[in-house]
Every structure is written in structure tokens, then in C-alpha cells.
Amino acid sequence: MTHTFHPTILREYDIRGIIGETLSAADAQAIGAAFGTRVRANGGSLVCVGWDGRLSSPQLADAVVAGLMESGCAVRKIGRGPTPMLYYAAKARGADGGIMVTGSHNPPNHNGFKMVLAGKPFFGPDIKDLGRIAASGAYAAGSGSVRDDDVADEYAARLAHDFDGQRGLRVVWDCGNGAAGEILGKLVRLLPGEHTILFGDIDGSFPNHHPDPTEPHNLIDLQQAVAARRADIGIAFDGDGDRIGVIDGLGRILWGDQILVILAEDLLKTHPGATIIADVKASKAFFDEVARLGGNPVMGRTGHSLIKTQMAEIGAPLAGEMSGHIFFADRYYGFDDALYAAVRLLGIIDRWPEMTLAARKDALPHLVNTPEMRFDCAEERKFQVVAEVRDRLAAEGANVNSIDGVRVDTADGWWLLRASNTQAVLVARCEAADEAGLTRLRAVLEAQLTASGVTLPA
């Protein structure tokens, strides 16, 4: 039977839609059948399926499983939990593929799917191919099977295995009622120290605050709890547990590139000269610090699937994004796992004889920057705007890195303009040594956007 998806849901890195509007159980079943067809064509049959805590996720997971079975796949249902638990299960079971039903950090009425095939990210043209298979109805035929395979305890033990601290810390955790809560409860029982969990009950309505640690207002509860308990660190997760947020003992936010510097500093002690990847939105301070520490900093394109692919291609043991995706291939599997990143970070801080996280943050280079600015731009126009800006800059002889949009270096610092791969928006950021330089950079960015008929928000 043929099936046509809503044109908005097949994204660059995953599949996302609004329940009852652009995404349904019928879509999920077609996704399962189409993905199963790809697994079978690849010579495999075993697929792991997991789901997050959203209210719609169990129904979508059942539909995905039905589609996989129709295509002749053997399904292992690993249960409810964070996305990296699905990635772990696929690795640990030697599965040929994996599907995670998750809406990540999107609003409660959204949901979607993240996939792996033969141990590699499934994105871009592969996702578009699912649409082609469904539209043609050219599914593999077969009679599959399904069984439960609860990996939660095994996964928690694997996370705890790599903790290498000495005494334990006072830690506050904020799950935001997202999918990491149950696993975190298991994990902290295996770690030394004093642990307080906020909003660990999984609730897809997210009654306390939205599970997105990149938004400062979502970290207020964590900051207050860190202060009240005089904790060494606060750690937050997004809705599906693949992005991390960090608060120091003074309640200050450490952004993704700052977290990555601390992780890189420790890793380079045992892997001197290692390549560390950060996405194009990362601060100049990251690249300077990794080079100073003897590493090889590499700038990559934004997008968790792209980073994972680049990591595997060049053999980097560590990578990260400003959004809080952290990827360890050192002693781990190379996928983004916020719980694992937390374990490694706690081990590092715990081994510092006298330094606190707050003191280490103070020792980082201090630059001034704008927050990530996101503003609407029509889908058919967003990439064209970036191309127009790039062409004008080339004509001016500007120092431009065009690996992902345009990142422009000047005497004041740098500014970035890129098109989102998942939404009809443009993304911009500026960074300078001081406020005067930041004002000048923003003025240049604004002038370029105005020349292309786009208004930069105040």
C-alpha cells in the first residue's frame, strides 16, 4: 500500500511532526515498513526500537513495530528511555538498525523519529528515501517477530563503568520530566557523592519547565537548587537525554563549547595531539584553548548526524556542539549521550585536587557574544540569503569560512550566518573581545541581511 507523508516532516537529521496535524500512527507504520525495507536491502533484519516519555510515543512505537514486522524484521523493544539508550542497545545487540520515537526538546504535541542503520547515522538523502519507498509502496515483504528486551539496568551500569573520580561530588540533576529520569535514578545509585534529582518523573506534558537546557529560563529551578544545596555542579538534560546543560557552583551557565574545553583538556592528557571537533557556532576561545593544550581543533558543520559522521571519518575521540550534544569515541561509542558526558565530566571535576568548576570557568578566556539569534525566513529563501551574503563578502575580499553558512573573521572577532536545516529560520551569532567590537560586528551582519531584504531582530 502506498503512503504519502506530510511534506514538512522528513527533515535533514530526523523526522518530526505535530501529532494529529502532520504526524500520525499511519505515518509511523509506513516509516517502520520503509526503514525495514532499507534494513532488509542492506542484508539485515534485527532492529531495536525505543521511545521517549511523550504521551503519543507508545502508540507511535507500536505502529513502527508493526511496520517493521510487515517488512520481515525481528524487533527488540528496549522500552522507554533516552535516545542514547537506543543507540547503546543497537550497539550492544549488534542490531542492523534502530529507531527511536522521540520529539526531543520540541513542544509536547510534537513527536518524531531518530534512526541508525548499520551503526551509522541515518539522515539527509536516507530520510528522503523513506518517502520514496512509502510513496511507491515498494516495501520488503515478510513475517517478522517482536520481543521485549529491557536494557535499562545494563545501560546504566555501562554509564557508571567509566566514572573515574575519587570521592564523589554534591550534584543536582534536572531531568525536566524528560526521558532520562528513570535511567538517571539507576545511575546515581551507582555513583559516589550526594545526588539530588529534580523532576525525575517522566511526564510528557512537562509540567514544571520545558526540557531544553539551551534556554536559560529552563535552568532557573536548577540554579536555585544548586544554591540551596551548596552543590558543586548542576546538570540538566533535554527531553530525550542527548543534550546536556551545566551550571557551576555559583549558578552560572557553562555553554556547550565551554564544557567541551574542559572535557578536551582532560582527554588530551592521555591522547596528546588528538583532533577535537566543535561545530561552526563554537567560540574562538574553544579553538584557541584546544590548540594551546596541544590538541588539533577542527570546525565542523552543525547537526548531530553530521558531527558523528565527521568524527568517524577522521577518527576524532571527542566532539561537541553549542547545543549541548557531546560525542565521546574515547572509551565509548561515538554517539551523543548527555548522561555519559555527565559521568565523564563529574570524574574530571572530582579528580581536581583543589580546583572547583566555578574556578575553572573563571580561568577560561572571556569574550563577549550575542546569544544564538534565530529569526524566520521562508524555506525557499533561507539558503539563497546565505548565498547572497557569501557572494557579497567574497567580492569584498572578506575572510570567510563557508563550511556551514558563512563565518566571517574580522579584527573585532567573528560573526556567523547560516540557514537551519530543520526549520524555516536563519541563525546568526557574533563574538568579540569587547562590547564595542560586538556592536560593530552586529552592524555588519545587520547591513548584510538588510541588503538581502531580511530584518535582524532587535
Asked whether residue 345 carries a pLDDT value surpassing 90, the answer given is yes
Give this prediction's pTM. Answer: 0.95
Per-residue pLDDT, averaged over 67-95, amounts to 98
Residue with cell 563529574: 346
pLDDT for position 399: 95
The pLDDT tens digits of the residues spanning 206-253 come to 999 999 999 999 999 999 999 999 999 999 999 999 999 999 999 999
Distance CA(296)–CA(232), nearest Å, equals 30
Distance CA(293)–CA(296), nearest Å, equals 9
Write the burial class of residue 252 (CB in 10 Å: 0-12 exposed, 13-18 middle, 19+ buried).
Answer: middle
pLDDT for position 175: 98
Distance CA(428)–CA(124), nearest Å, equals 23
Average pLDDT over the chain, rounded to an integer? 96
Q: How far is CA 389 from CA 26, 225, 375, in A?
A: 42, 45, 16
Per-residue pLDDT, averaged over 191-207, amounts to 97
C-alpha cell recorded at residue 442: 552586529
Within 175-304, strands assigned E span: 193-198, 233-237, 244-248, 253-254, 275-279, 296-300
pLDDT for position 316: 98
Share of the chain above pLDDT 90, in %: 91
Amino acid found at 22: T
Closest alpha carbon to 199 in 169, 236, 226, 174? 174
Collapsing DSSP to helix, strand or coil, 112 comes out as strand
Note the Cα 331 to chain centre separation in Å.
Answer: 19
pLDDT for position 212: 94
Active-site position among 24, 57, 71, 104: 104
pLDDT for position 379: 84
Asked whether residue 422 carries a pLDDT value surpassing 80, the answer given is no
Distance CA(236)–CA(251), nearest Å, equals 13
User: Domains of the chain (ranges plus CATH)?
Assistant: 15-150 (3.40.120.10), 154-363 (3.40.120.10), 368-451 (3.30.310.50)
Per-residue pLDDT, averaged over 420-441, amounts to 92
pLDDT class for 13, splitting at 50, 70, 90? confident
Asked whether residue 133 carries a pLDDT value surpassing 90, the answer given is yes
Q: How far is CA 266 from CA 38, 52, 409, 423, 430, in A?
A: 40, 32, 29, 36, 28
Asked whether residue 424 carries a pLDDT value surpassing 90, the answer given is no
Which residues, 6 or more positions from 368, have their beta carbon under 8 angstroms from its beta carbon?
431, 432, 433, 434, 435, 437, 438
Asked whether residue 353 carries a pLDDT value surpassing 90, the answer given is no
Asked whether residue 397 carries a pLDDT value surpassing 80, the answer given is yes
Q: How far is CA 313 from CA 44, 172, 230, 257, 393, in A?
A: 23, 36, 43, 22, 31
Instruction: For the beta carbon of residue 93, count every other beta carbon within 10 angstroms.
Output: 16
Within 210-357, strands assigned E span: 233-237, 244-248, 253-254, 275-279, 296-300, 318-320, 326-328
Distance CA(308)–CA(421), nearest Å, equals 16
Q: Check residue 93 and report its DSSP letter.
A: T
> 357, 317 in Cβ contact below 8 A?
no
As a 3-state breakdown, the chain gives helix, strand, coil percent values, each rounded to 5, of 40, 25, 40
Q: How far is CA 274 from CA 179, 288, 298, 410, 419, in A?
A: 33, 14, 10, 28, 30
Q: How far is CA 4 from CA 11, 26, 65, 137, 275, in A?
A: 15, 10, 19, 10, 43
Per-residue pLDDT, averaged over 7-17, amounts to 89
Per-residue pLDDT, averaged over 106-129, amounts to 95
The answer to whether residue 104 is catalytic is yes
In angstroms, how far is the first alpha carbon of the chain from the final one? 50
Instruction: For the beta carbon of residue 347, count every other beta carbon within 10 angstroms.
Output: 17
pLDDT for position 159: 98
The pLDDT tens digits of the residues spanning 49-65 come to 999 999 999 999 999 99
Closest alpha carbon to 262 in 369, 380, 169, 359? 359
pLDDT class for 264, splitting at 50, 70, 90? very high
pLDDT for position 258: 96
Residue with cell 556542539: 321
Asked whether residue 136 carries a pLDDT value surpassing 80, the answer given is yes
Asked whether residue 106 carries a pLDDT value surpassing 90, the answer given is no
Distance CA(211)–CA(218), nearest Å, equals 7
pLDDT for position 83: 98
When mean pLDDT is compared across 23-27, 151-155, 210-214, 422-426, the lowest value belongs to 422-426
pLDDT for position 458: 78
pLDDT for position 354: 86
Per-residue pLDDT, averaged over 143-162, amounts to 97
When mean pLDDT is compared across 38-47, 67-76, 371-380, the lowest value belongs to 371-380
The pLDDT tens digits of the residues spanning 274-322 come to 999 999 999 999 999 999 999 999 999 988 999 999 999 999 999 999 9
Note the Cα 221 to chain centre separation in Å.
Answer: 22
pLDDT for position 166: 86
pLDDT class for 420, splitting at 50, 70, 90? confident
Which helix (H) or strand (E) segment holds residue 90: the answer is helix 83-92
